[in-house]
Amino acid sequence: MTLQSIEPPFGKNQSLHKSPKIVLLVIFTLVFLTVIPCYPLLKYPLYLVNNYSEPSSFYDSNDELISVQSINEKCDLFSGEWIPNPDAPFYTNTTCWAIHEHQNCMKYGRPDSEFMKWRWKPHECNLPIFNPAQFLEVVRGKSLAFVGDSVGRNQMQSLICLLSRVEYPIDVSYTPDESFKRWRYMSYNFTLATFWTPHLVKGKEADNNGPTHTGLFNLYLDEFDEEWTTQVEEFDYLILSAGHWFFRPMVYYENHQIVGCHYCLLDNVTDLTMYYGYRKAFRTAFKAINSLKNYKGITFLRTFAPSHFENGLWNQGGNCVRTKPFRSNEMKLEDQNLELYMAQVEEFRKAEKEGKKKGLRYRLLDTTQAMLLRPDGHPSRYGHWPHENVTLYNDCVHWCLPGPIDTWSDFLLEMLKREGVRSHQEKLQYLSDRKLQAR
């Protein structure tokens, strides 16, 4: 269609010759809206999703920069395989200052680099590689908090490194305590925060040695950890996670009374296993979120990421020396990993159902299967210099940066891009349910 053939949107008895400026303005507007469509629910133009300027000289972008509407929303993102990605990594340990020393594998001499060169491929669709400019547009004016342990911090540092291709944040923390950090992306008015809470509930170390020389912790399974529950009401997104601290000895309290423990070896105290405490901790954490008066955000549960110790336990010489991912038919989620996964997902579903009554949204960031297949992605002994006089075990829990954990941001961005449509549908359902209840 040529410009001359476009019929102007006004009455037949109005003359084109009498209003040439109006006609030109209308024609320009129609062309502009045709060329640059807007995504109505996320409220930003698609050209910002599909294109962005190269932010730094070291970034050679071969990302799949596709529109938010081009991914099959019914595709299961979390069922798939790892496939080679020769373009990775998209940052290095020399270009990102946010990498924790114990996850800075290349700095400390890891000899192989292939573990950085894989991407996750869902069975039914393609998962786009993380686009930092796209992510920052999606979260413009918003805030995101990581609530959990050091693996949650590992995820946040991965995200900061991925975003560093566009912008670095400034520290706007309220406290010098490194366990509670806040970062601000000034150009986007986007805030990142981390809240350290390894057990999610109120707890304290009762004995820094304990039966396994890793400490003995008192967990108050029915009490909120107010270090984070009093701070997150303002956030637009919460990413909740917990896991590996529950392997340590614990004494469980409910209603201010000891009800049992996990490997505490105390007289007349029943061993209820770690699964009891794990389930109750998530139940209480979700209860805390659902009880927040003014919280309107979206809560993501980032599911348990298994460790990969072989040939011994973590404190008995166990290590992770593999250099390639498993195929999905080579590993099965079972035993402790399966029990922990099922416990948190079951509590998530209960909380999601309860939260819907208040119009709250819950999302499952299901990283478990993908990370089960990545025994090659851990620091092992490459988190410090060999000659350092330190007592550090082989680390098969955290993840090298760059490394497989960067894929969690691929998942997160795709979920956020889908969120506009899904939230709109859920809001309509919520309003419909409210109307039915009022009758």
Reading the chain (439 residues) residue by residue, the pLDDT tens digits are 332 332 333 233 333 333 444 434 434 444 443 433 333 333 333 323 333 333 433 333 334 333 444 466 789 999 999 999 999 999 999 999 999 999 999 999 999 999 999 999 999 999 999 999 999 999 999 999 999 999 999 999 999 999 999 999 999 999 999 899 999 999 999 999 999 999 999 999 999 888 888 889 999 999 999 999 999 999 999 999 999 999 999 999 999 999 999 999 999 999 999 999 999 999 999 999 999 999 999 999 999 999 999 998 877 889 999 999 999 999 999 999 999 999 999 999 999 999 999 999 999 999 999 999 999 999 999 998 877 766 678 999 999 999 999 999 999 999 999 997 665 555 666 666 666 666 6
Look up residue 323 and give its two tokens. 């250099």
pLDDT digits (tens, 9 = 90+) for 249-275: 999 999 999 999 999 999 999 999 999
Tell me what pLDDT residue 407 has: 98
Tell me what pLDDT residue 426 has: 58
Residue 72, SS3 per DSSP:
coil
Q: In this structure, what are the phi and psi dihedrals at residue 253, rounded to the nearest 5 degrees? A: -120, 140
Going by C-beta distance under 8 Å and a sequence separation of 6 or more, which residues neighbour residue 323? 112, 114, 115, 376
Look up residue 352 and give its two tokens. 């999601």
Strand partners, 252: 219, 260
Is the CB of residue 100 less than 8 Å from the CB of residue 153?
Answer: yes
Tell me what pLDDT residue 386 has: 77
Give CA separation, 318 vs 165, 305, 325, 397, in Å.
36, 17, 18, 11
Is the CB of residue 81 less than 8 Å from the CB of residue 324?
Answer: no
**Half-sphere exposure (Cβ direction) of 78: Cα atoms closer than 13 Å:** 16
Q: In this structure, what are the phi and psi dihedrals at residue 348, rounded to the nearest 5 degrees? A: -60, -45
Tell me what pLDDT residue 316 has: 81
Tell me what pLDDT residue 423 has: 58
Give CA separation, 21 vs 1, 26, 79, 142, in Å.
21, 9, 56, 40
- Which candidate, 418, 349, 390, places its Cα nearest to that of 108? 390
Look up residue 398 and give its two tokens. 């955290």
Q: Which residues are catalytic?
A: 150, 395, 398
Going by C-beta distance under 8 Å and a sequence separation of 6 or more, which residues neighbour residue 17? none
DSSP characters over 261-283: EES---TT--B-HHHHHHHHHHH
- Which candidate, 405, 412, 410, 341, places its Cα nearest to that of 377? 405
Tell me what pLDDT residue 86 has: 96
Phi-psi region of 109 (alpha: psi -120 to 50; beta: other; left: phi over 0): left
Q: In this structure, what are the phi and psi dihedrals at residue 41, rounded to the nearest 5 degrees? A: -90, -35
Burial 338-371 (b: 16+ CB within 10 A, else e): ebbbebbbebbeebbebbbeeebbbbbbbbbbbb
Tell me what pLDDT residue 250 has: 97
| Cα–Cα distance for residue pair 264/304, rounded to 1 Å | 23
Residue 126, SS3 per DSSP:
coil
Going by C-beta distance under 8 Å and a sequence separation of 6 or more, which residues neighbour residue 266? 251
Burial 238-257 (b: 16+ CB within 10 A, else e): bbbbbbbbbbbbbbbbeeee
Tell me what pLDDT residue 228 has: 98
Look up residue 318 and give its two tokens. 């166990």
Classify residue 51 as exposed, middle or buried by CB count within 10 Å of its CB (0-12, 13-18, 19+): exposed
Tell me what pLDDT residue 9 has: 33
Instruction: Report the amino acid identity of residue 201.
Output: V
Burial 6-42 (b: 16+ CB within 10 A, else e): eeeeeeeeeeeeeeeeebeeeeeeeeeeeeeeebeeb
